[in-house]
């Protein structure tokens, strides 16, 4: 089958009528009959459909000039982008959720995608069927179908203008993100300028800068909580083993712990570095017993490593700042061929058990630099760091069995703790290390050099302590009645573990 230019114009005229009646007219009908008003993004997609019809009418009237075809390509391309961009806001929501109503089970913004695709496909087919070269021809009479289509376009553009007047108002008022239903009663009209306001970013709300603990203010006197007691450093220890980079996280397996028989009943220290080194040290932190450098590009992307913990038995977990994790285990008989895919470097004595991502709810769009393990609940725990979008401290707990979110909370302030003013809060802290003991989460904040003590049962910050003299704290571990705060330079501040985790009470646990 071949089309002459005259036939092409007639077919186009009918297609324009279909485009104007079905999607554009259908959208108008939704407004008039059901009160459903388009949002600002829907308006643009509807305008794109009318413009595609208008370009087709230019072809009907003046012939298939290249600039018309170019305009159609721009419209289809931009229209598909708009529909995908708009749908992207909602496609990944939970089952059945979306924005406004549906047509045949799909929301209107999804149909915009289908319509632009259909226009592209139809245009391609028509061009394939055209007989002879496309040539700019003198203006021809459009025929009856063409005239009807042109009249229909004027009517549709006018009807949309009327709806736009009621729904969005005259310029400079502009469409809204959450438009109210269409009404002919002016008292119900909402004319808004909100869309003109707000931060502009091509990357949008996902532009979250990586955390930088080194830039945090270490002075406890500037923290969000006032009149905090001080925990004095009892002594300093040091990682004397040769690490492959600057320390970014540290955990300790202590023989006094519930599963103290792991690792042959010996103390072990897990250290991670800024060169993605994962090293298991002896209890004296003098020797490297196992070492690997995971391949960050294999499968799940690992951002810089920042947290570490022992998770029972001889299994260890390492956290990347983007909340991806690796589970590892010492394995003297590790299969070198199998582990090659996991590790860039290895001493051959470690095996990767699992690699995954922690999915949070309240801590989305926030990085995490601290990982802990609660043996009582058999849960892994992350603590978020504030981001420009969300300034809050979120404790997220993941079931050890399926490593899926079990619960989340923002700690409440316990009695005796006071904020400096209403603008300050726990979101000002930047937690870089954490550990769990006796039902309490102990965390160190690089901002304001503060130890935070959270009762996991009551989800309450029961105590906080200023620790003067710290520099770049990156990890925290509980060792019996002591807290070890690791710094990036490998020095370890040894602090007394507060007794009852109450303000002002700094007696060691053993007292």
Q: CA 124, 127, 132 angle in degrees (round to 5)? A: 160
- For position 205 contacting other proteins by CB under 8 A, the verdict is yes
Closest CB to other proteins among residues 43, 373: 43
Considering only 1-9, 158-166, 237-245, 426-434, which stretch makes contact with other proteins by CB under 8 A?
Answer: 158-166
Residue length of the chain: 511
- For position 112 contacting other proteins by CB under 8 A, the verdict is no
Closest CB to other proteins among residues 329, 392: 392
Closest CB to other proteins among residues 105, 171: 171
Rounded Cα–Cα distance for residues 91 and 497 (Å): 48
- For position 395 contacting other proteins by CB under 8 A, the verdict is no
Q: Measure Cα distances from 411 to 47, 140, 415, 461 in Å.
A: 48, 74, 13, 6
Assess contact for 168 and 174: CB atoms under 8 A. Answer: yes
Q: How far is the CB of 73 from other proteins (least distance, A)?
A: 12
Rounded Cα–Cα distance for residues 260 and 97 (Å): 48
Closest CB to other proteins among residues 210, 284: 210
Among 6, 26, 88, 101, binds other proteins (CB under 8 A): 88
* Cα dihedral 42/45/50/55 (nearest 10): 170
Give all strands (DSSP E) within 45-195, no chain letters: 102-103, 106-107
* Phi-psi category of residue 165: left, alpha or beta, with phi > 0 → left and psi -120 to 50 → alpha: alpha
Among 34, 67, 222, 341, binds other proteins (CB under 8 A): 67
- For position 363 contacting other proteins by CB under 8 A, the verdict is no
Q: How far is the CB of 37 from other proteins (least distance, A)?
A: 11
Encoding tokens for residue 274? 């800024």
Q: Is the peptide bond before 84 cis (omega within 30 degrees of 0)?
A: no
Nearest to 37 by CA among 173, 162, 209: 162
- For position 158 contacting other proteins by CB under 8 A, the verdict is yes
Q: How far is the CB of 171 from other proteins (least distance, A)?
A: 5
Q: How far is the CB of 151 from other proteins (least distance, A)?
A: 6
Among 173, 310, 343, 429, binds other proteins (CB under 8 A): 173
Assess contact for 501 and 461: CB atoms under 8 A. Answer: no
Q: How far is the CB of 362 from other proteins (least distance, A)?
A: 15
Among 5, 85, 255, 344, binds other proteins (CB under 8 A): 85
Encoding tokens for residue 363? 């801590």
Describe the crossing of helices 143-168 and 5-19 by its angle, rounded to 10 degrees.
Answer: 30
Assess contact for 411 and 444: CB atoms under 8 A. Answer: no
- For position 168 contacting other proteins by CB under 8 A, the verdict is yes
State the binding string over 19-48 for other proteins (x if CB under 8 A, else -): --------------------xxx-xxx-xx
Q: How far is the CB of 394 from other proteins (least distance, A)?
A: 17
- For position 206 contacting other proteins by CB under 8 A, the verdict is yes
State the binding string over 296-335 for other proteins (x if CB under 8 A, else -): ----------------------------------------
- For position 99 contacting other proteins by CB under 8 A, the verdict is no
3-state secondary structure at position 499? coil
- For position 358 contacting other proteins by CB under 8 A, the verdict is no
Among 177, 230, 242, 471, binds other proteins (CB under 8 A): 177
For residue 272, the cross-strand partners are 249, 278
Cβ neighbours of residue 262 closer than 8 Å, sequence gap 6 or more: 253, 310, 312, 313, 314
Closest CB to other proteins among residues 69, 289: 69
Nearest to 357 by CA among 294, 299, 443, 274: 299
- For position 66 contacting other proteins by CB under 8 A, the verdict is no
- For position 107 contacting other proteins by CB under 8 A, the verdict is no
The binding site for other proteins (CB under 8 A) comprises 39-41, 43-45, 47-48, 50-51, 54-55, 57-58, 61-62, 67-68, 71, 74-75, 78, 82, 85, 88-89, 139, 147, 150-151, 153-154, 157-158, 160-161, 164-165, 167-175, 177, 195-196, 198-206, 365
């Amino acid at each position: 089958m071949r089309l002459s230019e005259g036939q092409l114009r007639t077919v186009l005229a009918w297609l324009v009528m279909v485009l104007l009646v079905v999607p554009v007219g259908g959208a108008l009908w939704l407004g008039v009959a059901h009160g459903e008003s388009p949002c600002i993004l829907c308006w643009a997609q509807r305008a794109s459909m009318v413009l595609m019809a208008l370009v087709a009418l230019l072809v009907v009237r003046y012939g298939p000039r290249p600039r018309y075809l170019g305009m159609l390509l721009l419209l289809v391309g931009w229209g598909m982008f708009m529909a995908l961009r708009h749908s992207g806001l909602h496609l990944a929501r939970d089952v059945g959720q979306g924005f406004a109503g549906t047509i045949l089970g799909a929301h209107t913004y999804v149909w915009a995608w289908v319509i632009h695709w259909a226009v592209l496909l139809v245009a391609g087919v028509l061009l394939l069927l055209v007989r002879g070269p496309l040539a700019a021809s003198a203006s021809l009479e459009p025929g009856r179908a063409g005239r009807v289509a042109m009249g229909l376009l004027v009517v549709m553009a006018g009807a949309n203008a009327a709806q736009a007047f009621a729904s969005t108002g005259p310029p400079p008022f502009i469409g809204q993100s959450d438009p109210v239903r269409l009404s002919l009663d002016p008292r119900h009209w909402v004319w808004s300028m909100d869309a003109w306001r707000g931060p502009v970013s091509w990357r949008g709300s996902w532009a979250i800068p990586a955390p930088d603990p080194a830039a945090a203010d270490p002075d406890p006197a500037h923290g969000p909580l006032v009149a905090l007691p001080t925990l004095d450093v009892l002594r300093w220890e040091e990682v004397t083993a040769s690490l492959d980079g600057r320390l970014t996280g540290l955990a300790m397996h202590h023989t006094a712990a519930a599963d103290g028989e792991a690792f042959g009943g010996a103390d072990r220290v897990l250290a991670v570095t800024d060169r993605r080194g994962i090293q298991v040290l002896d209890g004296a932190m003098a020797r490297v017993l196992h070492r690997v450098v995971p391949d960050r590009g294999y499968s799940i992307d690992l951002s810089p490593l920042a947290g570490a913990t022992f998770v029972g038995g001889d299994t260890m977990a390492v956290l990347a700042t983007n909340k991806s994790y690796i589970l590892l285990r010492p394995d003297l008989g590790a299969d070198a061929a199998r582990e090659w895919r996991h590790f860039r470097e290895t001493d051959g004595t470690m095996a990767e058990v699992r690699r995954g991502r922690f999915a949070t709810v309240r801590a989305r769009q926030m990085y995490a630099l601290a990982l802990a393990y609660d043996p009582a609940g058999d849960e892994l725990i992350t603590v978020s760091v504030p981001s420009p979008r969300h300034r809050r401290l979120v404790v997220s707990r993941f079931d050890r069995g399926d490593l899926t979110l079990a619960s989340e909370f923002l700690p409440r302030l316990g009695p005796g703790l006071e904020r400096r003013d209403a603008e300050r809060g726990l979101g000002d802290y930047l937690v870089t290390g954490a550990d769990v003991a006796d039902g309490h989460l102990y965390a160190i904040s690089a901002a304001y050099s503060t130890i935070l003590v959270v009762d996991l049962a009551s989800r309450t910050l029961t105590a906080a302590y200023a620790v003067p003299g710290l520099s770049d704290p990156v990890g925290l571990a509980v060792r019996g009645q002591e807290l070890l705060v690791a710094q990036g330079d490998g020095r370890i501040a040894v602090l007394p573990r507060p007794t009852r985790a109450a303000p002002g009470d700094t007696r060691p646990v053993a007292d």
